[in-house]
Amino acid sequence: MIDERTARRLARRHAAERRFKLYGMASVAVALAFLVALLVTIVGKGYTAFAQTEIAVEVSFDAGPVKEGDFAGLVKSALAARFPEVTARNDKRELFGLISSGADRVLRDMVQDDPGLVGQKRVVTLLASDDVDMVVKGHVTAQSGRLTAPQAEWLASLRQTGAVSLGFNTTFFTAGDSREPELAGVGGAVVGSLFAMVVTLCLAFPLGVSTAVYLEEFAPKNRWTELIEVNINNLAAVPSIVFGLLGLALFLNFLNMPRSAPLVGGLVLTLMSLPVIIIASRAALKAVPPSIREAARGLGASRLQVVTHHVLPLAMPGILTGTIIATAHAIGETAPLLMIGMVAFIVDIPAGFLDPATVLPVQVYLWADSPERAFVERTSAAIMILLAFLAVMNLLAIVLRKKFERRW
Amino acid sequence: MNVASKPAMGQATLEDRRSAKVSARDVDVFYGAKQALKSVSIDIRPNEVTALIGPSGCGKSTFLRCLNRMNDLIETCRVAGSIWLDGEDIYTSGLDPVLLRARVGMVFQKPNPFPKTIYDNVAYGPRIHGLARSRAELDEIVMTSLEKAGLIDEVKDRLQEQGTGLSGGQQQRLCIARAIAVSPEVILMDEPCSALDPIATAKVEELIDELRQRFTIVIVTHSMQQAARVSQRTGFFHLGELVECGETEQIFTNPRHKLTQGYITGRFG
């Protein structure tokens, strides 16, 4: 039988356990709440960026302007035809401000695709300017926004005739950066990020894994290897901007590599993620049971065979997870890339590792800094794409781990 | 009791040395500053099972691991003295440890099959040593090794299953099959039954007796009964010294040394 003291003690122990579980659940709940708040804010602000206001007008493809390449002129005459009452010069300029300054490209592409269009009339949906876009999406009212009173009137008249519509914003995915929000896209940044990531992965993975294998399986344990180990651990904690400065001094100033290039960005990110990959890989190698090494050695496998046949395959899930987490971290890194000029305003989508480029987080940083109201939603949308990028990478890490996982 | 004054066993006859498969002379082993083996000399005869017994920490496993240079893997470990395999000094003759370990196989305390298929476990040794020229030859080696290890009936229909999915006793016999697949001359067994239940132990012991026909076996064991059951010769270690070595029957019925007597009668250990 249990006496009273034992019973009381037992009750206290159970209570402590319940309390501990409660704390744990509470902290998970708080963390989840923060995550949900973050996602709700970003998605709530950003989802409208995936739609874009378009205005349908009837354009007559007159031979004259087409020949001269004056497609902007076609847009202007189409608008003037739609609103014949506007005659004054200043009013006209305001009227043309409803349509994006990049709208003429659509017409040019149409004529290029189908030269038979010349001399005909077609209803074409043209990109609206960002100010119109904001009003249509309801982010600002027609009065409080940057639209002038006549502009608001014209817009209202256009909306009455059903000429204004919201379409899927392909520009946002395909275009590079632009001063005009409606023409700006993350395409350039995504490609830049991909290039930088390829460089980082191709350099950091083999270097990091071979370093870890050497230190863990081959290197003698002496003062030198100890020193190297301590240094690697310390490097993992160095602020990323310092790596940016190192890259600036080493790659740009000393080796004269091109500025703003994804190659240099990738090199800097490699420097940054190497220590993390080495530490993760060493931990994964350490976790392989020594009995496996002994078994292979006992059969007469050489050291390298023990590593390549047994230890590395068993450590691979851990190594891959570490590498992908480190690369994902590098993808989200901004500070070191600012140092090597990847913060420049770059309109073109990079075609190679040496072309000037920017990356997603830097694009977010640039847009967050822009005054136009339309860049607010685009910033959030870019963050969403960055997060999706990272989610895919983490998913990949999980899939790879599951695939290579072996139990013993 | 002064152990250093060894009785007659130390002076092995010339006959003994000539017929020995493995002979060790004055082997000292140090782990850093700590001496784990003190001047161990022993002759291990071919096609016999030699059991090494003694209390925990007496150095019997350390000695066993010297015989195929597994101690090389421990960085602080230093071996002095000489060990001959067929008259060749395994430490100084320039014999590659990789080749040595193909000639002197090892089975460990805990079954440690690779996390691969049963087939690949057995085929691994022949593969790295290039023992099979064709797929058929490799199949042949794998099947005969499994047969010799007495495992063939239990696994012949599931060679492509994971070796780690077998029971403990089967795993240990798989490890034995893996060791004999490279056709070693000597098999070292480091307490091969300590992680097994009595039935699996009985099977492994039976197997050891059969393997004696083809291989020279050195087995470290904690169980004196096991030593008595499976071995022809027994060596008793105490505090890093080989106290006594002789015919198993003689050691267990008429030990020359007081320490041996104390150990086998259970007065310490």
Give me the residue spans of the domains in chain B: 10-116+185-264
Q: Which residues of B75-114 are buried (b: 16+ CB within 10 A; e: fewer)?
A: eebebebbbbbeeeebbeeeeebbebbbbbbbbbbbbbbb
* Same domain flag for A248 and A287: yes
Confidence check: pLDDT of A345 > 60? yes
Number of domains observed in the structure of chain A: 2
Q: Answer for the pair A330, A312: CB distance below 8 angstroms, yes or no.
A: no
CA A17 – CA B172 distance, rounded (Å): 42
- For residue A291, give the nearest of B75, B110, B124 by CB distance: B110
CA distances from A270 to A200, A364, B101 (A): 5, 22, 41
Q: What is the mean pLDDT of residues A89-113?
A: 86
Q: Encode pLDDT of A353-371 as tens digits.
A: 988 889 999 999 999 988 8
Please, what is the angle between helix A187-213 and helix A312-331, to 10°? 140
**Residue written as token pair 């240990």:** B172
Contact B73 A297 (CB under 8 A): yes
Query: Looking at this protein, which amino acid is placed at residue A127?
Result: L
A25 C-beta neighbours (distance < 10 Å), count: 10
Chain A residues with CB under 8 Å of B99 CB are: 300
Chain A residues with CB under 8 Å of B85 CB are: none
**Stretch 210-249 of chain B: residues touching chain A, C-beta under 8 Å:** none
Contact B129 A300 (CB under 8 A): yes
CA distances from A165 to A51, A137, B85, B184 (A): 10, 10, 90, 82
Residue B10's pLDDT band, with cuts at 50, 70 and 90, is very low
* Same domain flag for A98 and A206: no
Q: Encode pLDDT of A245-298 as tens digits.
A: 999 999 999 999 998 899 999 999 999 999 999 999 999 999 999 999 999 998
CA distances from B95 to A241, A245, A300, B71, B157 (A): 54, 53, 13, 15, 40
The pLDDT of residue B7 is 41
* Same domain flag for A238 and A144: no
Is A153 among the domain residues? Answer: yes
Range of the domain at A98: 53-167
3-class SS at A403?
A: helix
* Same domain flag for A102 and A233: no
Q: Does B175 touch chain A (CB under 8 A)?
A: yes
Q: Which residues of A touch B (CB under 8 A)?
A: 220-221, 289, 291-302, 305, 309-310, 314, 406-408
* Same domain flag for A120 and A195: no
- B10-116+185-264 has which fold? Rossmann fold (3.40.50)
Confidence check: pLDDT of B4 > 60? no
Q: Does B99 touch chain A (CB under 8 A)?
A: yes
Confidence check: pLDDT of B14 > 70? no
The pLDDT of residue B1 is 38
What's the gap in Å between the CA of B203 and the closest CA on chain A?
21
* Same domain flag for A234 and A146: no
Phi, psi dihedral angles at A347 (to 5 degrees)? -85, -35
Is A125 among the domain residues? Answer: yes
Q: Does B75 touch chain A (CB under 8 A)?
A: yes
The pLDDT of residue B29 is 92
A305 C-beta neighbours (distance < 10 Å), count: 18
Contact A300 B128 (CB under 8 A): yes
Sequence-distant (6+) residues with CB within 8 A of B70 are: A294, A297, A298, B101, B106
Find which of A216, A292, A299, A314 to mutate to test the B interface (most B CBs within 10 Å of its CB).
Answer: A299
| C-alpha B145: how far from chain center | 18
CA B252 – CA B264 distance, rounded (Å): 7
The pLDDT of residue B18 is 67
Chain A residues with CB under 8 Å of B164 CB are: 407-408
- For residue A301, give the nearest of B106, B128, B175 by CB distance: B128
The pLDDT of residue B72 is 81
Specify the CATH number for the domain of residue A199.
1.10.3720.10
| C-alpha A290: how far from chain center | 41
The pLDDT of residue B178 is 93
- For residue A291, give the nearest of B100, B108, B179 by CB distance: B108
Confidence check: pLDDT of B6 > 60? no
Chain B residues with CB under 8 Å of A298 CB are: 68, 70, 101, 105-106, 108, 179
Among A115, A133, A167, the domain boundary falls at: A167
What's the gap in Å between the CA of B140 and the closest CA on chain A?
19
* Same domain flag for A163 and A289: no
* Same domain flag for A368 and A304: yes
Please, what is the angle between helix A374-404 and helix A187-213, to 10°? 30
Is A358 among the domain residues? Answer: yes
Among A139, A167, A195, the domain boundary falls at: A167
Residue B217's pLDDT band, with cuts at 50, 70 and 90, is very high
Look over chain A and give the mean of its residue pLDDT values, rounded to a whole number: 89
Confidence check: pLDDT of A73 > 70? yes
* Same domain flag for A121 and A217: no
Is A37 among the domain residues? Answer: no
H/E element holding A292? helix A290-298
* Same domain flag for A102 and A211: no
* Same domain flag for A205 and A330: yes
CA A307 – CA A132 distance, rounded (Å): 63
* Same domain flag for A276 and A348: yes
The pLDDT of residue B3 is 43
Candidate from A112-116, B31-35, B132-136 with smallest mean pLDDT: A112-116
Chain B residues with CB under 8 Å of A295 CB are: 108, 112-114, 175, 178
